[in-house]
Amino acid sequence: MNRTVCGGFSGRRFGALVIGRGLAVLAAAALLVPWVQAQGTAGALGGEMAQAWRFLRLEDPAVRYVVWGTLLLGTTCGLLGGFMVVRRMALVGDALSHAVLPGVAVGFLWNMSRDPVAIFVGATIAGLIGTAFVSALTRTTRLKEDAALGLVLASFFAVGLCLLSLIQRLPSAQSAGLSHFLFGQAATIGPEDIRVMAVVAAVVILFVLALYKELVAVAFDAAFARSQGLPAAVVHHAFMFLLAAAVVIALQAVGVVLVSALLVTPAATAYLLTRSLPRLLLYSALLGGAAGLAGAFLSFLGPALPTGPLIVIAASVWFGVAVLFGPREGWCIRLWRRRVGVGRTRRENTLKSMYHVAEVDGFARAGVTLEELAARRRETVEEVRRLGVELRSHGLARLEREVLYFTPEGRRRAGEIVRNHRLWELYLTQSANFAPDHVHDHAENIEHVLGEAVVRELERRLNHARWDPHGRIIPSSSELERPAPLEGGGLR
């Protein structure tokens, strides 16, 4: 309990710190605004702001198509990517995106034009054939899935590249746009493409909403789902079909090489942020959509930069932020927790030493001199003074003329730590058959992490014993809750 309380405390302090810094940055930005405005009217920045304004008004139809397109493909890929990541199928997305390329070429050859529907159908079918090959290879040979995926990915991609180069040589002017499928060209998204994307997005969202229960059951434990008579195979194939469709609609904007990042990155980000699947899927879809929008916006500001890579960079930035500042496993919160933990343990050990010194003469004196403490801890007075100052700054002790006095809070914490230590020693010797000379070091670590509930349980099991294995008094929980005797009636 102590631990969780402190964890919450440190979390709040961490939050306060982040918010504080964030406000400082905002304030700095606010100060910059007049400067930007002063500079901006004629300068380059002003031009960019005008450009941003043009983008945000969505008046330009080309901008509208790109915005809708990137939003739709980002959301669709994010949503399906969430399932993909929890099913540990992340590499399947990569194989799928490369396997669709021959289908793009065949779809073009179908009526010798960049007809979005024909290309969509051809690419999706090619993707499904690719995944069918993967599963056939893993079922009928001893090859494992990773090898099969790598094989299918490369061979389909190679065939696709050859077909595309052949098409490029055809004397058809319209074929020029096909190379965009390799690296993506969001500006080529037209109203026809938007229609296909909207249909795919709608089908994907309806599919996930309607069959959520079955999707989760199959993703978590497919054999169990099948044993219950759930249509696991149908659900799986429908999912693979929609995954292929999502890859295909993203292809034109992001390109074969990067499209799997749209499936994996938002989902991986969401995976770090939550442990609830519905929330993971929601975050993943939102982050995917947001990455799409951000990529479209940035590429509109700087037309030299391609939209697809910018979308992927935006998604990667979200991911980087989640890795650094994630609420549970973020690197910052982990560093912070460790720092807080180390500091707390050090203060508690100082309090414990004070308690030990005061205990020698039965708490007759109110304070503990720094010299006594230094002798006890086998440290110099200087080192001990630093520890005393630290206690003072945390409201656990007062330091007056080289003498440390417990505050009520400090006295209570000291008693708790000593109690935890001695209870644990007693428990180890009595119930776990540890020799009395073995228990001290174990208790040194445990004393800082025993929760209130565990302590009560220990006291109960040990029949509220008064003496530890070394014959010293164990402060009881009920005593510690009374006003501290040292502080109240101290003779100073």
Partner 1 sequence: MPSSLSTPAIPPVLEIHDLTVAYRRKPVLWGVDLAVGPGQLVGIIGPNGAGKSTLIKACMGLTPVQGGWVRFWGRPFAEVCSRVGYVPQRETVDWDFPVSVMDVVLMGRYGRIGLFRRPSRADREVARACLEQVQLLPYADRQISNLSGGQQQRVFLARALAQEAEVYFMDEPFAGVDAATEASIVVVLRTLRDRGCTLFVVHHDLPTARQYFDRLLLLNLNVVAFGPTAEVFTADLLQRTYGGRLTLLSEVAQALGAQGGSR
> By CB under 8 A, what part of segment 125-154 binds partner 1?
140
Q: Are 251 and 177 a contacting pair, CB within 8 Å?
A: no
Q: ∠ CA 336-339-341 to the nearest 5 degrees? A: 105
Query: Measured from the CB atom, is 9 or 220 closer to partner 1?
Result: 220
**Minimum distance of partner 1 from residue 287's CB (angstroms):** 16
Query: Measured from the CB atom, is 91 or 277 closer to partner 1?
Result: 277
> By CB under 8 A, what part of segment 65-94 binds partner 1?
86, 88
User: Binding to partner 1 by residue 109, rule CB under 8 A?
Assistant: no
Query: Measured from the CB atom, is 224 or 467 closer to partner 1?
Result: 224
What φ, ψ does residue 367 adopt, rounded to 5°? -115, 170
DSSP structure class, residue 106: H
DSSP structure class, residue 17: H
- Total residues contacting partner 1 by CB under 8 A comes to 27
CA-closest candidate to residue 297, choices 285, 286, 310, 312: 310
CB neighbours (10 Å) of residue 309?
Answer: 18
Q: Residue 71: what residue type?
A: L
Query: Measured from the CB atom, is 83 or 355 closer to partner 1?
Result: 83
Q: Are 327 and 301 a contacting pair, CB within 8 Å?
A: no
Q: Which of 213, 334, 339, 386 binds partner 1 (CB under 8 A)?
A: 213
Taking CB under 8 A as the rule, which mask of x and - marks residues 361-400 in contact with partner 1? ----------------------------------------
**Minimum distance of partner 1 from residue 86's CB (angstroms):** 6
Here the tokens at position 158 are 């190679």
Q: Are 447 and 424 a contacting pair, CB within 8 Å?
A: yes
Displacement of CA 207 from its chain's centroid (Å): 27
CA distance 201 to 208: 11
Q: Which of 35, 220, 331, 467 binds partner 1 (CB under 8 A)?
A: 220
Query: Measured from the CB atom, is 86 or 312 closer to partner 1?
Result: 86
CA distance 230 to 240: 17
**Minimum distance of partner 1 from residue 328's CB (angstroms):** 11
Q: Report in angstroms the alpha-carbon separations of 75 from 61, 191, 246, 269.
A: 21, 18, 10, 14
User: Binding to partner 1 by residue 267, rule CB under 8 A?
Assistant: no
**Minimum distance of partner 1 from residue 79's CB (angstroms):** 15
User: Binding to partner 1 by residue 467, rule CB under 8 A?
Assistant: no
Burial class (CB in 10 A: 0-12, 13-18, 19+), 270: buried
Query: Measured from the CB atom, is 231 or 341 closer to partner 1?
Result: 231
User: Binding to partner 1 by residue 286, rule CB under 8 A?
Assistant: no
Residue tagged 């397109």 (tokens): 69
User: Binding to partner 1 by residue 238, rule CB under 8 A?
Assistant: no
CB neighbours (10 Å) of residue 12?
Answer: 10
**Minimum distance of partner 1 from residue 144's CB (angstroms):** 15
User: Binding to partner 1 by residue 208, rule CB under 8 A?
Assistant: no
User: Binding to partner 1 by residue 217, rule CB under 8 A?
Assistant: yes
Of the listed pieces 223-231, 305-313, 381-389, 436-444, which binds partner 1 according to CB under 8 A? 223-231
Query: Measured from the CB atom, is 12 or 88 closer to partner 1?
Result: 88
Q: Which of 164, 225, 272, 358 binds partner 1 (CB under 8 A)?
A: 225
Q: Which of 79, 100, 119, 219 binds partner 1 (CB under 8 A)?
A: 219
User: Binding to partner 1 by residue 205, rule CB under 8 A?
Assistant: no
Q: Are 262 and 288 a contacting pair, CB within 8 Å?
A: yes
User: Binding to partner 1 by residue 169, rule CB under 8 A?
Assistant: no
DSSP structure class, residue 302: S
Here the tokens at position 103 are 């289908």
Query: Measured from the CB atom, is 229 or 471 closer to partner 1?
Result: 229
Q: Which of 57, 169, 275, 378 binds partner 1 (CB under 8 A)?
A: 275
CA distance 379 to 386: 11
Query: Measured from the CB atom, is 9 or 224 closer to partner 1?
Result: 224
Radius of gyration of the CA atoms of the chain, in A: 33
Site residues (vs partner 1, CB under 8 A)? 86, 88, 140, 210-211, 213-214, 216-217, 219-221, 223-231, 271, 274-277, 280
